């Protein structure tokens, strides 16, 4: 059986782990990916993992993208978070004319980042005009282009609406040089992501750089990847990132237990309680990983054979991602406490992974309300229908 060519990116991610691990302290200190790490990610094609093949991208299957994320996260969570964020942003190319997409993604470094949905743009001849500030732009310090998700307001001030009456949301795209950046990312975890804020003032956005992202009618690519919304791929990528952090933390705690003898106690490796704890925690992590990847494989199988994306697919991905992040956090907590006083020293990396994991668990992808959303859909919805936008 031939190996999928996309697996090469997983192997490259694994190859980059020593470099990323060596630079992790500097990434943490400066709150930015280092030039060495950014260059390595670019030169190895990792930022192009979800870019359409028609533009020279890898257009990876969902599972392989997740494996890439997991491997990078074992070395550094902030690097994986930035890579995952910007990789999914590149899916926007599937909703753009080829010339516009090529201008963004095929001119070095070809990296797009964006923040949360906020504000409005005004319709003007030939495009839109924007004056606003946005937050939470992970990976923006490596990006050459920025995006913003905005409501559209007509020239007369009335909101533009879709056929179903909901507001039209467009993702406007512009060179990073057109924006003002604000250094605001002073946080306890995922410090190296440079998740800063940015603004524009009276900026004109040509029509071709205002995408109807995640609108099936605007889709220009036909591969199974682009049947998924960017939010779905974000959730699975970040859940895989959490698995990588959990694996690295548990492995570090296990290595520590092999050689540590706490004061006044027997060696950790000979302690029945430690042995049982490691066994149960290992089972928790393996179960979470199996659930996440099985869900991804099942959804991908349906999409690859030509099935339409359904509400059932959306729910399956959402609850698998949410639960996996929560289970990963539990694994990290267990490993951190198992390490005892050793964990509080920054040189041992336990405390950084603990902070990073809990920063991941605070993000939108880990909200407990996702379970309510899924439960409501299971109880009341027709699960064979196209998914609602979330």
- Give 76-97 pLDDT, tens digit per residue: 999 999 999 999 999 999 999 9
H/E stretch holding 171 reads strand 169-175
pLDDT, one tens digit per residue, over 254-296 is 988 888 877 767 787 888 888 999 999 999 999 999 999 999 9
Q: How confident is the model at residue 1 (pLDDT cuts 50, 70, 90)?
A: very low
Query: Residue 106: which pLDDT band, with cuts at 50, 70 and 90?
Result: very high
Total count of residues recorded for the chain: 390
User: How far apart are the C-alpha atoms of 298 and 304, rounded to whole Å?
Assistant: 10
Q: Tell me the whole-structure pTM to 2 decimals.
A: 0.94
- Of 43-47, 301-305, 323-327, 368-372, least confident by mean pLDDT is 368-372
Please list, in sequence order, all residues whose beta carbon lies within 8 angstroms of the beta carbon of residue 54, skipping any fewer than 6 positions away: 98, 221
What is the structure's pLDDT at 322? 97
Q: Which of 188, 199, 84 is nearest to 142 (CA)?
A: 84
Residue 109's pLDDT is what? 97
A 10 A CB-CB count for 364 gives 13
* pLDDT exceeds 90 at position 348: no
Tell which residue, 320, 327, 335, 334, has the closest CA to residue 361.
327
Lowest mean pLDDT among 15-24, 159-168, 217-226: 159-168
User: What are the Cα distances from residue 136, in Å, to 87, 103, 183?
Assistant: 16, 24, 11
Mean pLDDT of the chain: 94
């Amino acid at each position: 059986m031939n190996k999928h060519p996309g697996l090469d990116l997983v192997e490259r991610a694994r190859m980059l782990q020593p470099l990323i691990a060596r630079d992790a302290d500097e990434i943490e200190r400066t709150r930015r990916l280092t030039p060495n790490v950014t260059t390595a990610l670019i030169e190895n094609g990792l930022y192009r993992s979800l870019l359409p093949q028609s533009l020279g991208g890898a257009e990876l299957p969902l599972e392989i993208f997740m494996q890439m994320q997991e491997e990078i996260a074992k070395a550094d969570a902030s690097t994986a978070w930035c890579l995952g964020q910007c990789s999914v942003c590149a899916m926007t190319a599937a909703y753009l004319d080829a010339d516009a997409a090529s201008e963004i993604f095929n001119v070095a470094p070809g990296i797009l980042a964006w923040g949360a949905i906020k504000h409005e743009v005004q319709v003007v001849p030939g495009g839109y005009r924007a004056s606003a500030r946005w937050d939470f732009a992970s990976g923006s310090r490596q990006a050459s282009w920025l995006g913003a998700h905005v409501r559209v307001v007509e020239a007369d001030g009335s909101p533009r609406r879709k056929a179903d009456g909901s507001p039209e949301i467009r993702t406007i795209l512009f060179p990073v040089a057109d924006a003002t950046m604000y250094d605001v990312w002073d946080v306890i975890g995922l410090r190296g992501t440079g998740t800063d804020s940015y603004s524009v003032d009276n900026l004109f956005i040509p029509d071709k750089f205002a995408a109807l992202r995640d609108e099936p009618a605007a889709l220009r690519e036909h591969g199974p990847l682009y049947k998924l919304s960017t939010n779905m791929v974000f959730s699975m990528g970040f859940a895989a990132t959490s698995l990588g952090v959990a694996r690295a933390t548990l492995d570090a705690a296990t290595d520590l237990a092999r050689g540590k003898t706490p004061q006044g106690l027997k060696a950790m490796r000979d302690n029945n309680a430690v042995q049982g704890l490691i066994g149960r925690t290992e089972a928790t992590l393996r179960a979470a990983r199996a659930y996440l990847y099985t869900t991804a494989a099942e959804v991908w199988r349906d999409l690859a054979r030509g099935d339409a994306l359904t509400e059932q697919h959306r729910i399956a991905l959402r609850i698998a991602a949410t639960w996996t992040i929560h289970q990963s956090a539990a694994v990290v907590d267990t490993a951190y406490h198992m390490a005892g006083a050793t964990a509080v020293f920054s040189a041992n990396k336990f405390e950084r992974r603990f902070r990073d994991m809990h920063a991941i668990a605070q993000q939108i992808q880990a909200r407990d309300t996702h379970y309510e959303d899924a439960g409501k859909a299971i109880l009341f919805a027709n699960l064979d229908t196209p998914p609602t936008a979330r």
